[in-house]
Amino acid sequence: MKLSTKEDIDTPIDRVFEQLTNFETFERTAIRRGAEVERVMDTSEPVVGMAWNARFEMRGRTRQVQVTLTELDRPNTIRFDAVGQGIDGNLVIDLLPLSARNTRLSVAMELEPKTLSARLLLQSLKLAKTNLNKRFRSKIREFTRTL
């Protein structure tokens, strides 16, 4: 299953990239929302190979996922790969400078089931894909406004 969206931001590309690689802020946000987040590689600078172990509640069950930063092409691309209980995924964030002050943010997320129960979970999400896509776009739009 794949979700994607694009948003234009009235901010220079370097500043957008800097905000997107401020991982401490994302860690704190996830913890405030009830997730347990542990950074595997303790470094303040973003580098390929950084990883996080996360644990959170979803649909009444505790889920675990390991997220790894697999590509960091400053200031154009950031890619994360995630391995969870039966579901693998990746998130690709591409930045494109439209002008000196404007940036286009493209976000694509893809999930792939590895077990039968994960396949059933993703199938139920696919049934609501229109609503899921709207929520995904809305969250990305809201996020870009805070940048």
Chunked into runs of 10 residues, the chain (147 residues) has average pLDDT values of 95 96 93 95 88 91 94 97 95 97 97 94 89 94 88
Of 3.30.43.10, 3.40.640.10, 3.30.530.20, 3.30.420.40, which CATH number belongs to 2-146? 3.30.530.20
> Cα separations (Å) of 78 from 3, 8, 30, 36, 124?
16, 17, 19, 23, 29
pLDDT given for residue 147 in this prediction: 75
Contacts 24+ apart (CB under 8 A), 49-52: 50/23, 52/27
Counting Cα atoms < 13 Å in the Cβ hemisphere of 129 gives 10
- Residue-wise burial string across 120-145, b where 16 or more C-beta atoms lie within 10 A, e elsewhere: ebbeeeeeeeeeeeeebbeebeeebe
Q: What is the pLDDT of residue 78?
A: 98
**What integer pLDDT is reported at residue 59 of this predicted model?**
77
Q: Which residues pair with 55 in a beta bridge?
A: 36, 64
Tokens found for residue 131: 């609503």
Tokens standing for 101?
């002050």
pLDDT of residue 43: 83
pTM here?
0.91
pLDDT for the residue 58: 82
C-alpha gyration radius of the chain = 16
pLDDT at position 93, please? 98
pLDDT digits (tens, 9 = 90+) for 41-69: 878 789 999 999 999 998 788 999 999 99
Looking at residue 119, its pLDDT comes to: 93
State how far the Cα of 52 lies from the Cα of 32, in Å rounded to an integer. 16
- Between the CA of residue 12 and those of 8, 85, 99, 111, 146, what are the distances in Å? 11, 38, 8, 30, 14
* The pLDDT of residue 121: 85
